[in-house]
Structure 1
Amino acid sequence: MRQLSMATRRELTAAVGQRYREASRAEKARILDEFVVVTGFHRKHAMRLLRGDMGKSPVRRTRRRIYEEAERNALVVLWEASDRICGKRLKALLPLLIESMERNGHMGLAPEIRAKLLAVSASTIDRALGKIRQEGARQRRRPVASALRRSIPVRTSADWKDPAPGFVEADLVAHSGPSARGSFIQTLVLTDIATGWTECAPLLVREQTLLSTVLTELRRQLPFSLQEIDTDNDTVFINETLKAYCEQANIVFTRCRPYRKNDQAFVEQKNGAVVRRM
């Protein structure tokens, strides 16, 4: 059989396509058989050509929105009432918080909205609150991609299980106001996972040796020995000085994943409830 040119195939497709689309089921099968024989096209490809499907953009399925403006607004109120804790902790707190807010007359939810809020996942909470969180967010620091950083084990929020007292999360709270320019004090916060015990101390400057000195003072105030310290990826923590300090004191040193605040949910909550509130 002589090979048809592309122009001839297009003309034939246009001519047969109209007849194919208007034909009955039995006639479509006969037309398709003849079209495949003449053009040499694969049967499935020939069907798409005759139906006129080629060149059409695929239909995208839009995800049905479950949480509307009313649910998001209620979630913001609950988030503010909880001192802006992260999604994982807010998810666990919602049943008690909603009941308390309604009992004390601070909130009145329709039954369907209450049911949706109680069923919401931690990741959906974080997505719903993403915009309002970004309004006051600072520019992210570039993570330290180094051999030192890779040598420090990563610990996620799911890895704590049920630790004994002495396993703490550490973070710094900057007292800079709306601008990070100039000099300002930062508070070093240690929060124990098992008990919630929190110790705070000021740092006049961001300096790793000073941080080690302040950490020594905080260890004297803790009612238990420090077994492990988990920090974020700030360079004031991720450095040779603090790593050597922990090794000398037999303290396990771990870090969270970059930009994953839920990995440090315990200390993040105390940052707001203890330091920022004061």
Structure 2
Amino acid sequence: MRVRYLKATTRQEKSQILDELQATLGYARKYAIAVMKPKPEHDRPRAKRTRPLRYLAALPVIQAVWEALDYPCAERLHPVLVSTAQQLAAHGEIQLTPEVLRDLRQISRATLARRISKWARPSAKHVPAGRRPSSRLRSEIPVERYEWNEHKPGALEMDLVEHNGGSSLGHYAYTLSVVDVVTGYSRRLAVLGRGQAGIAAALERILAEWPYPVWGIHCDNGSEFINSQLTRFVKARGLSLTRSRPYQKNDNAHVEQKNRFLVREIVGYERYDTPEHVAWLNTVYAWLDVYANACLPMRKVVQKVREGRRVHKKYDMAKTPLQRALEAGVIPTDKHTNWTEWAGSLNPLQIHRQLVTLLTHGPEGANVTPAPLPAPAPWPQAEACRT
């Protein structure tokens, strides 16, 4: 039928042949047209090679050199093939005859590449996942997340916020942000770099100043958290440690929201990379933590109803995180009066002005003396604001 098709001179003849082909073999019209065309030259069977392969005697030597140099490509192997073979022969690793040496000098890079491509190359060297310390720690830390309606205060989420100004080069500051998913109580502390020891020390300081007992900590999969120092720390305190699913930031939703509201919208996206910058950040956070926990009301989701693809949420009445902690009964009863009187003695407008002053002057104006809070607080960090 192809012969008839190629000999046809009119469009009607070719169309009739295509109709017969479709009716006989069930081909689609376009495919029938394609198969009727003559085959290109490159699709025709090639004549088998009759010339014998060259350099067969040199192949064992080439393979030994290739192995000695850790299996390089032909571009790297070809320039040093002869010299390395002579070096191996001097140590008695291979036998280098005049014929083999001649072949090593004559073989081209392209021929060498074709020979190498047929040899088995060992797989890439890597440390098995089960032997890595981080892998072992990840297997010990369960992947979970706190429920949105968690009712037991003391469940903390923590995260790091970097202050690199858009460039990850060099050493710069990080903010360790910790928040209770039940009460909304939160703390922040700036450190220079994200070394494991520094992050563990910052977390220990924050928990030491937490006003009520903590029972769980939730983090992401960063190496600053998944390390032996943090695991020893939580085990010594009898805390529950969990981690998020990889690349699922919503598993840490509460602290991510605080990062935006109480870190990025306050100190911005500038680069802070000196001890003076870290000291300024911690001065800001000392006032900001008092302001956020004792003055700023927050609403909490108390009900979720899904209707198709939409989720309708119901919120409770706005309260400050400190009020929620007092009402939850997690702060010791004998300290309720101290906390209540301290919160009532605060002047939110004064604290707001102080924050505006600190942020307006920036780190360069760190010598500006912060105004003292109106009354001492049962919270150690508030006392630091007064000095």
Query: TM-score, normalised on structure 1?
Result: 0.49
Does 1 or 2 have the higher relative contact order (CA < 8 Å, sep 6+)? 1
Query: TM-score, normalised on structure 2?
Result: 0.36
Larger Rg over CA atoms: 2
